[in-house]
Amino acid sequence: MLIKRPEDIPPSEITPRALFERRRAFIKAAGALALAAGMPGPAWSREALPGLQKSPYSTLEPPNSLRDISTYNNFVEFGFGGKSQPAERAGAMKTRPWTVSVEGLVQKPRTLAIEDILKVAPLEERIYRLRCVEGWSMVIPWVGFPLAALLKQVELLGSAKFVEFVTRMDPVAMPGLRQPFLDWPYTEGLRLDEALHPLTIMAVGLYGEELPNQNGAPLRLVVPWKYGFKSGKSIVRIRLVDQAPRTTWNLAQPEEYGFYANVNPDVSHPRWSQDKERRIGELFKRRTLPFNGYAEQVASLYAGMDLRKFH
Ligand SMILES: Nc1nc2c(c(=O)[nH]1)N[C@H]1C(S)=C(S)[C@@H](COP(=O)(O)O)O[C@H]1N2
Ligand SMILES: [Mo]
């Protein structure tokens, strides 16, 4: 694996910066090799996102490798045929030009070009755990900014209570859209206080560069205390509404995928327990933590709620 820690360096001494630099050196070498062999260059020549601020919200756990993060994905618009399909197919999706409309119960609805979204707030590195409802997890060094900064741009009305996120439908690049299993476009939603929480970010990159398409380029939601399916990829529309929006997975299988979907080791998925997870790259399972380990920051959002009922 590319970013494997040499046995003699304790994890505390590996900075993300050191990881980036080693990766950059590798990419340069790989690119030169590919060129020499007459092959196309590496598929990961994405723009660097310089000047990243560090965040106190980052976990100190070691991140998964870029290879794991960008080749083991769920992005069903590109097919239901397994974790490697998004990486194989998502390159066909064009991510420029790209606009995102922010609309609904707001004072100043806007349609923003991705170039302007990148300037909404200083970009930060946010190293977060991601826990998929399927029972695996990763640690991902996202690049992004708080969703709250984007919502501030449109001046919310007092009647706005929830946020709906609508993702891209590209019938040519996305063969999964022809499958009738889900009600397209892939749509997700948050309660307004969840959307405004400082842990909730719009991610535009990872490992210091633009997002790979399979991870939701050019812009995706990341809500680290919820199961991964809440974090919609390749978002085109954000709508402020007064009632909980209908969401894709909840519509398909309400027993299995609740609207809240907070990571909860005590509430089993109907077909399997959620109390353990496999960190990609590790052999043994680890215990799943309430709110994916972010309870201290977010548990108060749900004070007084029965989280079994509102799962
Ligand atoms: N548009 C869209 N967003 C999506 C999905 C999807 O299929 N389509 N899958 C979700 C699921 S189930 C997970 S676990 C995460 C995975 O994100 P990653 O591949 O970047 O790790 O994306 C979420 N966002
Ligand atoms: Mo997932």
Instruction: Report CA(18)–ligand 1 centroid distance (Å).
Output: 28
| Helix H or strand E encompassing 152 | helix 147-152
| Residue segments in the chain with a per-residue pLDDT below the cut of 50 | 1-17, 19-20, 27-28, 31-32, 34-36, 38-42
168 CA: nearest ligand 1 atom: 1
For ligand 1, atom 15: residue with the closest CA: 228
For ligand 1, atom 4: residue with the closest CA: 232
Sign of CA dihedral 24, 29, 34, 35: positive
Residue 45 pLDDT: 77
Tokens of 123: 């970009």
Tokens of 103: 């609309």
Q: Which ligand is nearest to the CA of 188?
A: 1
Nearest CA-CA partner of 291 in 230, 237, 238, 232: 230
214 CA: nearest ligand 1 atom: 19
For ligand 1, atom 11: residue with the closest CA: 229
Instruction: From 76, 130, 231, give the residue whose CB has the most ligand 1 atoms within 8 Å, as the site to mutate.
Output: 231
Strands 124-131 and 53-54: parallel
Q: Is-contact 210 49, C-beta < 8 A?
A: yes
Q: Which ligand is nearest to the CA of 69?
A: 1
By the CB criterion, residues less than 5 angstroms from ion ligand 2 are 74, 132, 228-229
Instruction: Report CA(91)–ligand 1 centroid distance (Å).
Output: 16
- The whole-angstrom separation of Cα 80 and Cα 147 is 29
Instruction: From 233, 247, 250, give the residue whose CB has the most ligand 1 atoms within 8 Å, as the site to mutate.
Output: 233
Q: Which ligand is nearest to the CA of 217?
A: 1
Q: Is-contact 233 215, C-beta < 8 A?
A: yes
Residue 23 pLDDT: 52
What lies within 8 Å, CB to CB, of 146 at 6+ separation is 121, 198, 200, 201, 202
Instruction: Report CA(233)–ligand 1 centroid distance (Å).
Output: 6
Instruction: Report CA(83)–ligand 2 centroid distance (Å).
Output: 11
Q: Which ligand is nearest to the CA of 187?
A: 1
Q: Which ligand is nearest to the CA of 205?
A: 1
Domains assigned to the chain: 6-302 (3.90.420.10)
86 CA: nearest ligand 1 atom: 19
Nearest CA-CA partner of 128 in 226, 259, 2, 25: 226
Residue 53 pLDDT: 96
132 CA: nearest ligand 1 atom: 14
Helix (H, G, I), strand (E, B) or coil at 189: strand
Pocket of ligand 1 (CB under 6 A): 73-77, 130, 132, 167, 186, 215-216, 228-229, 231-234
For ligand 1, atom 5: residue with the closest CA: 75
